[in-house]
Amino acid sequence: MDGHSLAYRAFFALPAENFTTASGQTTNAVYGFASMLANTLRDEAPTHFAVAFDVSRKTWRSADFPEYKANRSSTPDEFKGQVELIGELLDTMNADRFAVEGFEADDIIATLATRAEAAGFEVLIVTGDRDSFQLVSEHTTVLYPTKGVSELTRFTPEKVQEKYGLTPAQYPDFAALRGDPSDNLPGIPGVGEKTATKWINQFGSFTELVERADEVKGKVGQSLRDHLEAVKLNRHLTELVRDVELPKAVADLERAPYDRAALQGFLEVLEIRNPSLRERLLAVDPGTAEEEPPAPAAGVELDGSVLAGGELAPWLAAHGDRPLGMATVASWSLGTGRVAEVALAAADGKAAWFDPTRLDEADERAFADWAGDPARPKVLHGAKESLRVFPEHGWPLAGITMDTALAAYLVKPGRRSFALDALSVEYLGRELTPAAADGQLAFGTDEHAEADALMAQARAVLDLGDALGARLTEVGAADLLHDMELPTSLLLARMERYGIAADRAHLEAMEELFAGAVQQAVKEAHAAVGHEFNLGSPKQLQEVFFGELNLPKTKKTKTGYTTDADALAWLAGQTDHELPVIMLRHREQARLRSTVEGLIKTVATDGRIHTTFSQTVAATGRLSSTDPNLQNVPVRTDEGRAIRRGFVVGEGFESLMTADYSQIELRVMAHLSQDEGLIRAFASGEDLHNTVASQVFGVATSDVDAEMRRKIKAMSYGLAYGLSAFGLSQQLNIEAGEARALMDTYFERFGGVRDYLHHVVDEARATGYTATVFGRRRYLPDLTSDNRQRREAAERMALNAPIQGTAADIVKIAMLRVDSALREAGLTSRLLLQVHDEIVLEISPGEREAVEALVRREMSGAAELSAPLDVSVGVGSDWESAAH
């Protein structure tokens, strides 16, 4: 395989914006190459395999002809580093790869193909370089990509003859006469492919044509003679070298078993989680067929039992006092759920599986007692799911000493997936398969395959708990797990079960309103253009904007000029035509309609919306929510506030209460930087942004206008989120130079902030991580990357993580303090939601004053900062009216 050629094709075939990791590393070339690799190995089943790469553009060809490929543009930033990553991918697959100084990948391939054919091999070459057609023979076939990275055309001698009217051996003669603009090889003026083919067939070879050039008549003959030296050089350069010195013989390139753990880890690091691609790569592992069915892990054997009615109570009596790993199969939807299967596993190899519907009364009582006993240790993966659904069966759940998903998150918060199977491979070297028939377990039959697999998961959870427990101690996060994340899981599970009451009629009216606004925008758009068109079709929008209306061109993409929101906003400022403004309104109303539709679909039979909170999505420690995503409900627009009126106080309660922190990120930044000016600005009690603006712009507080305040607000929050001068210029729609000057002036007044921002990046580069005030680490290995894109993305994360992470930690502590204080005081008011820095409570009759005092006390006392925490509280009959 031609590594560089295929990587480039993959890069341009797949949109880079769809293949980017949390750290900013683009992976489209890696993904496309891996997909083509998996398909080719599957379809062709080679016994021997290698990949060839270019080293650089400095080769024997550029030495002989300095203009060779000199016309090519510089490598796109998004592509840089991906070839190195492809090399790492191949290393995990134990695949041979070659790159030789002074030669191109083509020359390496030519050498391998020639030697392999001589040794009796059938040879396949996968490349997007047509020069390889000269290697085609009865025993060598070129697989040439003709449709992105998904379709290969087989070039045999017959196919080359059909395509070009020439034999493979004549192809370099043809290429020399034709020239190659992509390689900067000049052609002969007036001579195209048809003429080149005609000459080669007429004279038999390039050499013969040169010797008899005087026989070629007309203008093209004179053109040939005038450019004879150039085409001779072309012929020299298009001939592939077949004797490059390589460190391995062809016979040594036999495919070898993968390092499967390394491969899984590599895909996880690059956040390549497409199940189909993973399965295709693993399916062509040469070691799969040779290996014995893997045991759960070296030295681990399971003695599993599928329990019938009456057998769980004695099993728990024998094994329940020791730490047990637990795995479940459960469902949860619209506020209700059921547990379908439970598996338990002990360190001595004993394991059990049971169906909750088959338990007898003694079993039920024994399991409830075990589950609710805080003295009986339990290890789970994603404990919140069990904490949420167990109460549906009347089972309490206490004594959770380890949650392996949360532990893995604290150890490596940057990863996006904390699936048990991936963690098991990474930390235990153990693959978890969905059925015992695959050889994962040393017991059971196909009849009990699902039970066997779930018991294997329970044992993996137990062992993973030990492995991650040690890692938590190493990274100083053990207290974070036990004092913050596990208690937060318990609280979130209760909040998810409570849900929040919804005014369905109000939401349905809002949906109709937005639907009408969408249709009105469609009519206005059609009227503005003079005909109907599909507002959802980028292609038709491009034709209308840049063809019919001839509006200024926006950023060029692979599919044309972009019509995204930023482009529409830019067009609205560049032209008087009404269409960009109509399109922006159409998209906003469509988005609001989609948001409300999603909310209506999630209203449960109890009339409440039960969102699902996640602790492991945001690497900074912030919570997120799904089904529905409540962070999607806008708060700063009239429409968004109207949507929030659909969240109401529930039956039996008096009101909703909201409480949040005022400018918590900036207070954290003031605390971490210890900038005296910023701390004083908070202590003054005046409007922060006005106070800071007066210092930056050198005017009295009373003279600060709205534009000054807007710029300083964007600056202050931008610094807390790692914003660059360029980013600030884009946000404020000002020149980059003005943004830089504004930033410089800000730092002159608040030097402590500047020094802190420099220090935090330098320290993270030295240690490899940043940390919050409470010790939550975020590892940033890309801070030392040679790839500028990855390095700068890591620097922005280093600026942002301690500030946003500390704020997130404070909010979690505040939630736990408020919840604990409510229960200690015997109050029945309860927490329902946490969105960004705001918590929402449902207040029982007569408890408002007590709850407000409690909330203010507990939230303001959640952390001691140099810029004290300020809490705002509001009360109302719905989420919007409870705003403050």
pLDDT digits (tens, 9 = 90+) for 756-771: 988 999 998 888 889 9
Strands, E, within 537-680: which ranges?
Answer: 556-557, 560-561, 608-609, 612-614, 624-626, 647-648, 655-661
**Is pLDDT of 193 > 80?**
no
pLDDT score for 120: 92
- 599 occurs within a structural domain: yes
What mean pLDDT is predicted for residues 600-626? 93
33 within domain boundaries: yes
Give me the CATH number covering residue 366.
3.30.420.10
Task: Say if 710 falls within a structural domain.
Answer: yes
> How distant, in Å, are the alpha carbons of 11, 19, 272 from that of 275?
21, 15, 9
pLDDT of res. 340: 93
Distance between CA atoms of residues 800 and 328, nearest Å: 37
Asked whether residue 731 falls in the same domain as residue 792, the answer is yes
pLDDT band at 396 (very low <50, low <70, confident <90, very high): very high
| Backbone CA torsion sign across 123, 124, 130, 131 | negative
Whether pLDDT at 445 is above 50:
no
> Is there a domain that residue 538 lies in?
yes
What is the CATH number for 559?
1.20.1060.10
pLDDT band for 23, please (50, 70, 90 cuts).
low
Q: Specify the residue for token string 């699936």.
A: 419
* Gap between the Cα atoms of 770 and 746, Å rounded: 24
Here the CATH number for the domain that contains residue 788 is 1.10.150.20
pLDDT band at 444 (very low <50, low <70, confident <90, very high): very low
Give me the pLDDT at residue 288, please: 66
Helix ranges (DSSP H) in 258-416: 260-269, 275-283, 287-290, 312-319, 361-372, 383-389, 404-411
One domain for residues 718 and 755:
yes
Number of domains in the chain: 4
Q: What pLDDT, in 10s, does the model give residues 812-842? A: 999 999 999 999 999 999 999 999 889 999 9
Domain membership of residue 141 as a residue range: 3-164+241-253
Better-predicted residue by pLDDT, 637 or 534: 534
Q: Hey, what are 557's tokens?
A: 């993409």
The conformation of residue 606, written as its DSSP 8-state character, comes to T
Residue 113 has pLDDT above 80, yes or no: yes
Whether residues 522 and 459 share a domain: the answer is: no
Judge contact between 457 and 432, C-beta under 8 A: yes
- Amino acid found at 713: K
Residue 759 falls within a domain, yes or no? yes
CA atoms of 861 and 869, how far apart (whole Å): 8
Residues 6+ apart with CB under 8 A from 25: 81, 85, 270, 782, 787, 789, 790, 793
In the listed set 253, 279, 311, which residue is the last one of a domain according to the structure? 253
Percent residues over pLDDT 90 in the chain: 52
Same domain assignment for residues 549 and 490: no
Residues 427 and 576 in one domain: no
For 140-171, the three-class secondary structure string (H helix, E strand, C coil) is EEEEEEEECCCEEEEECHHHHHHHHCCCHHHH
Residues 441, 315, single domain; the answer is yes
pLDDT value, residue 290 = 44
Tens of pLDDT along 250-304? 999 999 999 887 888 888 888 887 777 888 898 888 886 444 444 444 446 788 9
Residue 703 pLDDT exceeds 50: yes
Q: For residues 679 and 666, give the distance between their C-alpha atoms in angstroms, rounded to a whole number.
A: 10
The reported pLDDT for the residue numbered 447 is: 46
pLDDT at 806: 96
- The Cα-based distances of 580 to 590, 625, 637, 846 in angstroms read 15, 32, 20, 52
Supply the pLDDT for residue 63: 78
What is the distance between the alpha carbons of residues 867 and 666, in angstroms, rounded to a whole number? 9
In this structure, the answer to whether residues 676 and 603 fall within a common structural domain is no
CATH label of the domain that carries residue 146: 3.40.50.1010
User: What would the pLDDT profile of 361-375 be if each residue is shown by its tens digit?
Assistant: 999 999 999 999 999
| Separation of first and last alpha carbons in the chain | 63
CA distance 766 to 633: 40
Q: Which long-range contacts (CB under 8 A, 24 or more apart) does 293-298 make?
A: 293/438, 293/439, 293/440, 294/430, 294/431, 294/439, 294/440, 295/442, 296/430, 296/440, 296/441, 296/442, 296/456, 296/459, 296/460, 297/428, 297/429, 297/430, 297/463, 298/429
Better-scored residue on pLDDT, 203 or 1: 1
pTM metric for this prediction: 0.70
Angle at 49 between CA 47 and CA 53, to 5 degrees: 175
Report if residue 864 sits inside a domain. no
Least confident among 27-36, 247-256, 288-297, 623-632: 288-297
Q: Does 867 fall in a domain?
A: no
Mean predicted confidence (pLDDT) in 70-85: 74
C-beta separation of 819 from 635 below 8 A = no
Where does the pLDDT of residue 558 fall: very low under 50, low under 70, confident under 90, or very high at 90 and above? low
pLDDT (0 to 100) of residue 410: 94
Residue 873 maps to a domain: no
Q: Are residues 699 and 728 in the same domain?
A: yes
In this structure, the answer to whether residues 582 and 684 fall within a common structural domain is no
CA 872, chain centre distance (Å): 35
- C-alpha separations of 217 from 78, 432, 541 in Å: 50, 73, 52
- The arithmetic mean of pLDDT across residues 316-320, rounded, is 95
Is the same domain home to 769 and 688? yes
Distance, CA of 247 to chain centre: 38
Distance in angstroms (rounded) separating the CA atoms of residues 414 and 600: 33
Could you tell me if 40 and 63 lie in one domain?
yes
**Residue 637: which residues within 8 A CB-CB, separation 6 or more?**
none
Nearest to 393 by CA among 328, 452, 473: 328
| Distance of alpha carbon 448 from the chain centroid | 36
What is the bridge-based pairing of β-strands 655-661 and 871-876? antiparallel
pLDDT tens digit sequence for 121-139:
999 999 988 889 999 999 9
**Which of 474, 499, 524 finishes a domain?**
499
Whole-angstrom Cα distance, residue 550 to residue 555?
15
628: preceding bond cis by omega (within 30 degrees): yes
Last residue of a domain, one of 609, 630, 649: 609
Query: Is the separation of the CB atoms in 670 and 866 below 8 Å?
Result: yes
| Residues 605, 718 within the same domain | no
CB 770, CB 801: distance < 8 Å: yes
